[in-house]
Amino acid sequence: MMRKITELMLILAVVFTAGQAADEESWCTTGWSCFFSAYYKFVSTPLSWVEAELHCQKLIPGGHLASLHSLEEQQFVLKLSKNNVIWIGASDSYKDRTFFWTDGSAWDYENWHSGEPNNFHGTREACVNSYYFSDDTWNDFICTAKFPFTCKVTGPSCLTNQIVG
Ligand SMILES: [Ca+2]
């Protein structure tokens, strides 16, 4: 009896592992790059911040502009985005200087360039881009400006972090 249970558990473990690998493979073949348990896609077509967010939402269920929660994730996204200035999923459109992520995740990391966010020259800058200063820092900017962008969606944990495309 005990041996049968052990065998069953082993079979289940194999099936689960195979399933996870298949999941990851299918995500990667559709052009999504994996970093731990999230998947990312760089879109080179410049759009306004709102258009970019809507594009991410239409691209895949649960998709949003990328939220960033560590320097490692920031650098992964920059590499994927080929060091373009990109919109990220941060905005303070609801209340000046109170930033949020469009995917609803916690505001637990910031990487502002020195002097940012600044509503430059008194112009309301309610949307956030990355690499504006040719480094990994952030800048608040006018939401109607058009930039490439990177989408993100949470998914199955990947076995290896990798950039696709
Ligand atoms: Ca600014």
CATH at 42 = 3.10.100.10
Q: Is the pLDDT reported for residue 39 higher than 50?
A: yes
Q: Is the pLDDT reported for residue 82 higher than 80?
A: yes
Q: Which domain holds residue 71?
A: 2-154
Residue 64 in domain? yes
Residue 18 in domain? yes
Query: Which residues make Cβ contacts (< 8 Å) with residue 83, sequence separation at least 6?
Result: 131, 134
How far does Cα 129 stand from its chain's mean position?
A: 13
pLDDT band at 12 (very low <50, low <70, confident <90, very high): very low
Ligand 1 centroid, distance to 113 Cα (angstroms): 9
**89 φ, ψ (degrees, to nearest 5):** -80, 25
Long-range contacts of 3-7 (CB under 8 A, 24+ apart): none
Q: Dump pLDDT digits (tens) for 119-129.
A: 999 999 999 99
Q: What are 87's two structure tokens?
A: 């919109």
Q: Dump pLDDT digits (tens) for 96-125.
A: 999 999 999 999 999 999 999 999 999 999
How far does Cα 96 stand from its chain's mean position?
A: 23
Ligand 1 centroid, distance to 152 Cα (angstroms): 23
Indicate the number of domains in the chain: 1
Residue 162 in domain? no
Ligand 1 centroid, distance to 105 Cα (angstroms): 23
Residue 129 in domain? yes
Ligand 1 centroid, distance to 81 Cα (angstroms): 21
Residue 161 in domain? no
Neighbours of ion ligand 1 (CB under 5 A): 118, 120, 125, 139-140
Mean pLDDT of 40-45: 97
Residue 165 in domain? no
